[in-house]
């Protein structure tokens, strides 16, 4: 065999070796039908991460590659991230907007470039109709929202039959869906004369520490709190830490929202009292399925809509039945 022939064989072998070393085969590399962008409002949030993982798994099975970018709770960065997706020529993008109004111009630009725009909580009205343009389809979590608000108040009535003073802990950034949840909850509390809505404090960092700081201050301002209702579970865990440090564990009820993994252990330990599972895996699958349907060119009636993911309550009496999100994600593969 000549040296020239050896080189001709050696170079392709190097190429194959490189593909294998990177975990990618030639057939797999060629199999992708294209990129689908995915914008995390903040990837460190376990609830949002579960949505992304479920979407990615579903897209991968359909032959698409997901390009995930973390907005890090920065609305301006999220706009820049969408610009990046446009530059990379994604076929579609899945966006959970931090600010729907602020995102509209760049999403309109993406749509004008031929990119399919699918969203989560882009609009927050209780409707299964298609969302406003440029979003073609969307998923809403914890909907119908009025039902969730009434369920939260019903739980308060159960654990505080004589009524009591309620503190709400929200997020210090105006995310439309979270604000709607907060407003409807207040409306329901205000309609029940047995309860007093003390007010709202905000978590400025969207984590447990931010929840603790907010409630530390609230416990001084409002010494007679009977229940704390938080917009998510890390905040509820932070609230519980503040309550415990103040010597009021067991005296103040604390409930969260979304059922993040850390909340499951807390409920089992008898710390926070309960939470609603927002089922992020179902939402992630729905987002990906809508995207796939649109990219396949299926009939508009199959995807031009809003899919609402309901929430299910768990407390210490039912938490043993809860199926962890990572188990659900693994079941998709």
* CATH number assigned to the domain comprising residue 167: 3.40.50.2300
Task: Kindly calculate the radius of gyration of the chain based on its CA atoms and give it in whole angstroms.
Answer: 23
Q: What tens digit of pLDDT does each residue of 71-81 get?
A: 999 999 999 99
Q: Are residues 125 and 212 in the same domain?
A: no
Cβ neighbours of residue 268 closer than 8 Å, sequence gap 6 or more: 316, 319
Residue 262 lies in a domain: yes
Residue 272 lies in a domain: yes
Residue 16 lies in a domain: no
Task: Copy the structure tokens of residue 98.
Answer: 């931090």
Instruction: Count other Cβ atoms within 10 Å, centred on residue 224.
Output: 9
Contact 287, 308 (CB under 8 A): no
Q: Are residues 121 and 208 in the same domain?
A: no
Return mean pLDDT, the chain.
92
Length of the chain: 333
Taking the chain, what is the end-to-end CA distance rounded to the nearest angstrom?
Answer: 46
Is the Cα dihedral 160, 166, 172, 173 positive or negative?
A: positive
Cα 233 to Cα 25: distance, rounded to the nearest angstrom = 41
pLDDT at 17: 40
Angle between helices 145-159 and 176-190 (to 10 degrees): 50
Q: Are residues 255 and 203 in the same domain?
A: yes
Q: Are residues 159 and 115 in the same domain?
A: no
Q: Are residues 159 and 124 in the same domain?
A: no
pLDDT at 10: 38
Secondary structure of 309-321 as H, E, C letters: ECCEEEECCCHHH
- DSSP 3-state assignment of 270? coil
Cβ neighbours of residue 188 closer than 8 Å, sequence gap 6 or more: 149, 150, 152, 153
pLDDT at 42: 94
Report the C-alpha dihedral over residues 50, 53, 57, 59, rounded to 10 degrees. 110
| 196 band by pLDDT with thresholds 50, 70 and 90 | very high
Check pLDDT > 50 for residue 234: yes
Q: Are residues 247 and 304 in the same domain?
A: no
Q: Which residue, 277, 299, 322, sits at the end of a domain?
A: 277
Cα 27 to Cα 21: distance, rounded to the nearest angstrom = 15
Cis peptide before 144 (omega within 30 of 0): yes
Cα 43 to Cα 278: distance, rounded to the nearest angstrom = 17
Residue 314 lies in a domain: no
pLDDT at 94: 99
Q: Are residues 119 and 164 in the same domain?
A: no
Cα 131 to Cα 193: distance, rounded to the nearest angstrom = 36
- DSSP 3-state assignment of 110? helix
Residue 150 lies in a domain: yes
Residue 136 lies in a domain: yes
Contact 232, 258 (CB under 8 A): yes
Domain that holds residue 82: 32-142+279-309
Count the domains in the chain.
2
Q: Are residues 127 and 82 in the same domain?
A: yes
Q: What tens digit of pLDDT does each residue of 205-233 get?
A: 999 999 999 999 999 999 999 999 999 99
Bridge partners (DSSP) listed for residue 315: 274
Q: What tens digit of pLDDT does each residue of 10-45 get?
A: 334 334 344 334 444 334 444 799 999 999 999 999
pLDDT at 174: 85
Cβ neighbours of residue 226 closer than 8 Å, sequence gap 6 or more: 160, 164, 165, 166, 252, 253
Cα 240 to Cα 141: distance, rounded to the nearest angstrom = 25
Residue 226 lies in a domain: yes
Q: Are residues 128 and 156 in the same domain?
A: no
Bridge partners (DSSP) listed for residue 78: none
DSSP secondary structure letters along 285-300:
HHHHHHHHHHHTT--G
| 143 band by pLDDT with thresholds 50, 70 and 90 | confident
Cα 319 to Cα 301: distance, rounded to the nearest angstrom = 38
């Amino acid at each position: 065999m000549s040296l020239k022939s050896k080189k001709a064989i050696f170079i392709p072998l190097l190429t194959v070796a490189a593909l294998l070393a990177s975990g990618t085969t030639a057939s797999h590399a060629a199999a992708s039908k294209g990129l689908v962008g995915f914008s995390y409002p903040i990837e460190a949030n376990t609830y949002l991460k579960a949505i992304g993982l479920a979407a990615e798994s579903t897209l991968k099975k359909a032959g698409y590659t997901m390009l995930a970018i973390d907005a890090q709770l920065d609305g301006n960065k999220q706009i820049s991230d969408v610009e990046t997706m446009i530059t990379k020529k994604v076929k579609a993008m899945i966006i959970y907007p931090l600010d729907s109004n602020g995102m509209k111009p760049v999403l309109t630009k993406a749509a004008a470039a031929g990119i399919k725009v699918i969203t989560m909580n882009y609009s927050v009205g209780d409707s299964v109709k298609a969302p406003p343009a440029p979003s073609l389809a969307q998923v809403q979590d914890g909907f119908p929202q009025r039902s969730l608000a009434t369920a939260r108040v019903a739980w308060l009535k159960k654990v505080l039959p004589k009524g009591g003073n309620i503190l709400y802990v929200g997020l210090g950034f105006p995310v439309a869906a979270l604000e709607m949840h907060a407003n409807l909850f207040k409306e329901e509390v205000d309609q029940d004369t047995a309860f007093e809505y003390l007010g709202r404090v905000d978590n400025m960092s969207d984590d447990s520490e931010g929840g603790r700081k907010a409630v530390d201050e609230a416990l001084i301002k409002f010494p007679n709190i009977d229940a704390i209702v938080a917009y998510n579970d890390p905040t509820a865990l932070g609230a519980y830490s503040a309550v415990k440090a103040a010597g009021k564990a067991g005296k103040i009820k604390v409930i969260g929202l979304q059922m993040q993994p850390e909340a499951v252990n807390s409920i089992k330990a008898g710390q926070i009292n309960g939470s609603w599972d927002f089922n992020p895996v179902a939402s992630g699958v729905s987002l990906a399925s809508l995207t796939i349907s649109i990219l396949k060119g299926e009939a508009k009636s199959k995807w031009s809509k809003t899919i609402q993911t309901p929430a299910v309550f768990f407390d210490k009496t039912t938490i043993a039945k809860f199926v962890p999100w990572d188990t659900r994600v693994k079941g998709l593969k």
